[in-house]
């Protein structure tokens, strides 16, 4: 079962879809999916649609949404900043926490690519996030995104103030704002459990970020040890049915293991 939901954030309406399991017992744990750079709640090759159905079939509620300037949400990408996206995630969490049947004490963020950086930054600042899964996450926002854009685009943004990237306006403000955020540092404050899965043949975001995220997370005190995993031969968006299946399987295996322990601790 799924339903369209519109959430107000600042001046914009954010378009989202809430997926609910068919059989509901007590309160439902919630997964929030965060898409990446110039992405959407559908995801490339419908990655987020498939992920939502996969997790819902296993008892989780899943919410996927478009950041402003993306997909069906209000706004223009020329006005997008990482700071604004962090604020939008807060508004999404605020709204979802009030929905009857959702367990606000069992919220998991899953972020892909730049959405991984947004998820990490959010988890480090918001104690409502109990679990975190990063899929091929951006680790150094400015360096990673300018690496995708290429030096020619960066020069044009510096000179003209903007650049058209596949129909999306990338502003100088967007690039400057990226430099203000440090996901690795932010995660030092996260007290929940985390898991990192990276595409082994990622052509956009360095797979070395996975090990660095794990290293940072493992420096925290009194938290469960974090192990990074890889999907062999997978590209950045896991664009093969075999890659998708492995990504989902690794994610749900970790999630279900954690859920079992959380329920035991609370009973």
The answer to whether 130 and 108 are in contact (CB under 8 A) is: yes
Among left, alpha and beta (phi > 0; psi -120 to 50; other), residue 150 is left
The answer to whether 108 and 135 are in contact (CB under 8 A) is: no
- Strand bridging mode 2-9 / 12-19: antiparallel
Partnered with residue 28 across adjacent β-strands are: 102
pTM score, whole prediction: 0.95
Q: Where are the domains of the chain?
A: 2-139+187-266, 141-179
Q: Which CATH superfamily is domain 2-139+187-266 in?
A: Alpha/Beta hydrolase fold, catalytic domain (3.40.50.1820)
Digitized pLDDT (tens) for each residue of the chain, 267 residues in all:
899 999 999 999 999 999 999 876 679 999 999 999 999 999 999 999 999 999 999 999 999 999 999 999 999 999 999 999 999 999 999 999 999 899 999 999 999 999 999 999 999 999 999 999 999 999 999 999 999 999 999 999 999 999 999 999 999 999 999 999 999 999 999 999 999 999 999 999 999 999 999 999 999 988 899 999 999 999 999 999 999 999 999 999 999 987 655 544 444
């Amino acid at each position: 079962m799924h339903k369209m939901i519109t959430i107000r954030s600042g001046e914009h309406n954010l378009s989202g879809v809430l997926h609910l399991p068919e059989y509901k017992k007590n309160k439902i744990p919630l997964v929030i999916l965060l898409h990446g750079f110039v992405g959407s709640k559908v995801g490339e090759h419908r990655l987020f649609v498939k992920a939502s159905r996969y997790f819902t079939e296993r008892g989780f509620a899943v919410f996927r949404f478009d950041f402003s300037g993306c997909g069906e949400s209000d706004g223009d990408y020329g006005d997008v900043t990482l700071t604004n996206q962090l604020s939008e995630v807060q508004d999404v969490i605020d709204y979802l926490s009030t929905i009857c049947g959702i367990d606000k004490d069992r919220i998991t963020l899953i972020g892909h690519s730049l959405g991984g950086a947004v998820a990490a930054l959010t988890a480090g600042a918001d104690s409502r996030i109990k679990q975190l899964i990063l899929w091929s996450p951006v680790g150094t926002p400015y360096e990673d995104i300018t690496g995708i854009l290429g030096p020619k685009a960066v020069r044009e943004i510096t000179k003209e103030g903007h650049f058209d990237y596949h129909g999306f306006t990338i502003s100088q403000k967007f690039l400057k704002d990226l430099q203000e955020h440090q996901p690795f540092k932010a995660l030092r404050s996260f007290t929940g459990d985390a898991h990192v899965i990276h595409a082994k043949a990622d052509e956009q975001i360095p797979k070395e970020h996975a090990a660095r995220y794990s290293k940072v997370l493992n420096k925290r005190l009194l938290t469960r040890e974090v192990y990074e995993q890889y999907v062999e031969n997978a590209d950045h968006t896991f664009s093969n049915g075999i890659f998708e299946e492995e990504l989902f399987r690794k994610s749900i295996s970790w999630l279900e293991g954690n859920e079992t322990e959380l329920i035991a601790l609370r009973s």
